[in-house]
Amino acid sequence: MSIPPLTTTTADRGRTNGAPPSARLRRRLVGPAWGLVPFLAYLLLFLVVPAISVFVDALRTEDGVSLSAMGEAASGQNRAALLFSVTFSAGAALVGVVVGALLAYAAASLERPRWLRTAVTSFSGVAANMGGLPLAFAFLTLLGRQGILTKILSTMGWDLYAGDFELGSVPGLITVYSYFNIPLMVLVTLPAIDGLRPAWREACSSLGGTGFTYWRRIGLPVLTPSLLGGFMLLFANSFSAYATAAVLTDNSKIIARRIGFFLGGDVSIGEDAVGFALASWMIIITATAMAIYWIARRRSERWTA
Amino acid sequence: MIHRLSSVVAKSVPRLVVLVCSLFFAAPLLALARYSFQNVPTILLGWSTLFDKWSVTGVTAVFREEAFWSSLRLSLTLAAGTVVLTIGLLVPTALWVHLRLPRARALLEFITVLPYMVPAIAMVAGIMIIKPHARWFLNSDLALVPFYVVLALPFTYRSLDTGLRAVDLRTLVDAGRSLGAGWPRTMVRVVLPQLRVAIISAVFLTVAVVLGEYTLANTLLIQSLPPYQELFVGREPQAGYALNLLALASTTVLFAVLALVTRPRRRQSSLVRAIVSSPAHSSENPS
């Protein structure tokens, strides 16, 4: 049972290849780097330029640069849409992290039936990519006003729509988004759970620790980077989902739909900068979440390498 | 006592989680299937009408729609274009990085996550800004292709990268070269066969992404399959739900075939295995 050194990262592994650094090697490295030019140029053209131009058009006015559109995009109804999106995305991510991690742990620890683990991972691969229109329609037929489960619940005396429940509300969106968030979390966190070595648990109990001690002192601390990374990934995933929300919510409630509304051209001239400012805020928030995810993933790879 | 109790809890909690999750994941699909195949309004649904009016007319109605076929054709064309461009761009890049620039692997991994940082709807906003400067290109329906390559990038590059990590590329290339094969021959006869599974899975993932892409197509008013799915539900609910069920089912089949293809295989040509597993040739740091 070997525990990998704390500092092992992919970068380190790459560096052990080949000769020690020398002037000749450096000269050789300038050459191979040119092989990346087509790929980088492609991304520059079709990803970086569109993303940057969103910021440019959000900041540009007739007489120079101004933050007024960015400010307007963060106030009033726009602010409400931003907050609504952040709220339900955080909620959906939290539910996804907890249930996804539990499901991954169940798949990793249950020995019978033996096909369970394969079934869970294969299904997760499919369902993690299932967001979109069909999923939204499936939930409409289940939990919509005319949905089957709504009907079954009402015959049992529970009127789901008596309160202010609807599929486009925070609880509704969390329910629907869990359908692809939970499987995504399973895929992300299973390697980390597999990395929990039985020897650690044995060491813990032979030192007198209980199951609770094990999770409190060993299991959860080891899993923390992976759970945090999973939260950020699921947050970004929910925050930027558009197609599912297009079916379930009205036009301007969540930020992604609101941008679609601005882009639809139903706004007066001059207001389109606000739409681009909303898109800029969206990129800022998603990019931050993904950056944290990236750092957390690097950390969690320590234990799975 | 406490130990007994906690072990019972430890055993039953995972089972309960699996059970509840199975119900949660099955229910929406079953509900969608009922609406697609049974033409009874929910109001009237009860024990007495449970077995009434089941039929496949919803599904057959889909196939009679001219607009369905044209949107499907467009989506398949977009998928084919995206696959060709993705493979043409990514396979050489991934090979290059693994063979000549291993130090850039971590950088590439980071770059391929970048598309996640720009939500699809923000990307549309960017496309709309650059559109006036490239109308000759962006007015075409096929202009979506290069952007779909970007959207699929996190999946496709990762699958190629995983495939390349699994084989000792450098040794294979050295072996091929020292046996007298030139670069093109080494690539076609030695390297690409080793990458077959990785390339197939990249292709499948790309097709799945393109066939389900709604945001760009809908906002840019391009009638590919997903926008049509939405439109059709509004017009003919039962047939519309059937169409969405079909879309789900075909994606699932795609992924099931993918899982079969990428299943780890024991049978590998013994020569390759001998070369790859030989410790003397391992250029990677064993960790």
Share of chain A above pLDDT 90, in %: 41
When scoring A25, A95, A137 by the number of chain B Cβ atoms within 10 A, the one with the most, hence best to mutate, is A137
Q: How far apart are CA B142 and CA B210, in angstroms?
A: 12
Q: Which two tokens stand for residue B116?
A: 């996640």
Instruction: Please answer whether residues A283 and B118 qualify as being in contact, where contact means their C-beta atoms are separated by less than 8 angstroms.
Output: yes
| Nearest residue of B to residue A259, measured between CA atoms | B121
- Please check whether residue A282 is in contact with residue B122, taking contact to mean a CB–CB distance below 8 angstroms: yes
Parts of chain B with a pLDDT under 70: 1-6, 264-287
Q: What's the whole-number average pLDDT of chain A?
A: 84
Return the minimum-mean-pLDDT range out of A230-234, A246-250, B269-273. B269-273
For residue B58, the model assigns a pLDDT of 80
pLDDT of residue B71: 96
pLDDT of residue B284: 40
How many contacts, defined by CB atoms under 8 Å, are there between A and B?
A: 258
On chain A, the residues whose CB falls within 8 A of the CB of B45 are 148, 151
The whole-number pLDDT of residue A26 equals: 59
Phi, psi of A249 (to 5 degrees): -120, 160
pLDDT, tens digit (0-9, with 9 covering 90-100), for A76-92 = 889 999 999 999 999 99
More confident residue, A27 or B140: B140
Measured between alpha carbons, how far is B72 from B224 in angstroms, rounded to an integer? Answer: 7
Read off the pLDDT band of A130 (50, 70, 90).
confident
Subunit contact A243:B214, Cβ cutoff 8 A: yes
Question: Considering only A109-113, A148-152, B186-190, which range has the smallest mean pLDDT?
Answer: A109-113
User: Tell me, what's the ipTM?
Assistant: 0.84
Is residue A304 predicted with pLDDT exceeding 70? no
What tokens were used for A165? 């429940």
Give contacts of B208 with chain A, Cβ < 8 Å.
Answer: 129
The answer to whether A120 and A250 are in contact (CB under 8 A) is no
Band (pLDDT 50/70/90 cuts) for residue A22 is: low
Q: For chain B, what is the total number of helices (H) and then of strands (E)? A: 16, 0
State in Å, rounded, how far the first CA of chain A is from the last one: 13
Mean pLDDT of chain B: 84
Predicted TM-score of the model (pTM)? 0.85
As given in the structure block, the two tokens for residue A8 are 């092992």
| Residue B51, C-beta contacts closer than 8 angstroms, at least 6 positions apart | none
pLDDT of B171 reads 87
For tokens 């294969």, the residue is A122
* Contacts with A279 (C-beta within 8 Å, 6 or more apart), sequence order: A54, A58, A259, B121, B122, B125, B126
Interface touch A294/B245, C-beta < 8 Å: no
- Give the Cα separation of B28 and A154 in Å (integer): 18
**What confidence tier does A219 reach under pLDDT thresholds 50, 70, 90?**
confident
* pLDDT of the residue at A13: 42
pLDDT at A136: 94
Flag whether pLDDT at A8 surpasses 50: no
In degrees, to the nearest 5, what angle opens at C-alpha B188 toward C-alphas B185 and B192? 145
Helix (H, G, I), strand (E, B) or coil at A169: coil
* Beta-carbon separation of A33 and B101 below 8 A: yes
**B200, two tokens:** 């197939």
pLDDT tier at A271, thresholds 50, 70, 90? confident
Select the residue from A60, A111, A133 to test the B interface by mutation, using most B Cβ atoms within 10 A: A133
Q: What are phi and psi of B38, to 5 degrees?
A: -120, 125
The mean-pLDDT minimum among A1-5, A238-242, B55-59 falls in A1-5
Question: How far from chain centre, in Å, is Cα A240?
Answer: 9
Count of positions (residues) in chain B: 287
Q: Which residue of A has its CA nearest to B35?
A: A141
Query: Residue A64: which H helix or E strand, with range?
Result: strand A64-65
List pLDDT tens digits, range A250-269: 767 899 998 988 887 655 55
- Compute φ and ψ for A269, nearest 5 degrees: -60, 140
DSSP 8-state secondary structure symbol assigned to residue A45: I
Mutate to test the interface with B, among A105, A189, A242, A257 (most CBs of B within 10 A): A242
pLDDT of residue B86: 96
- Residue B256: the pLDDT is 82
Whether A174 has a pLDDT exceeding 60, the answer reads yes
Give the DSSP per-residue string, A197-236: -HHHHHHHHHTT--HHHHIIIIIHHHHHHHHHHHHHHHHH
Alpha-carbon distance B109 to A219, whole Å?
28
Q: What is the pLDDT of residue A87?
A: 95
Give the Å distances, CA to CA, from B166 to A41, A187, A299, B136, B159.
28, 19, 22, 43, 11
What is the distance in angstroms between the Cα of A173 and the nearest Cα belonging to chain B? 14
Q: How high is the pLDDT of residue B67?
A: 92
Asked whether the beta carbons of A246 and A260 are under 8 A apart, the reply is yes
Partners of residue A64 on adjacent β-strands: A61
Q: Is the per-residue pLDDT at A145 higher than 80? A: yes
Instruction: Quote the pLDDT of residue A1.
Output: 37
Q: Are A271 and A204 in contact (CB under 8 A)?
A: no
Distance (Å, rounded) from C-alpha A35 to C-alpha A32?
Answer: 6
Instruction: Collect all residues of chain A within an 8 Å Cβ-Cβ radius of residue B247.
Output: 133-134
What pLDDT sits at residue A18?
47
The answer to whether the CB atoms of B103 and A149 lie below 8 A apart is no
Res. A29: pLDDT tops 60: no
Q: Single out the residue of B74, B216, B204, B67 nearest to residue B131, CA to CA.
A: B216
Q: Give me the pLDDT at residue A173, please.
A: 94
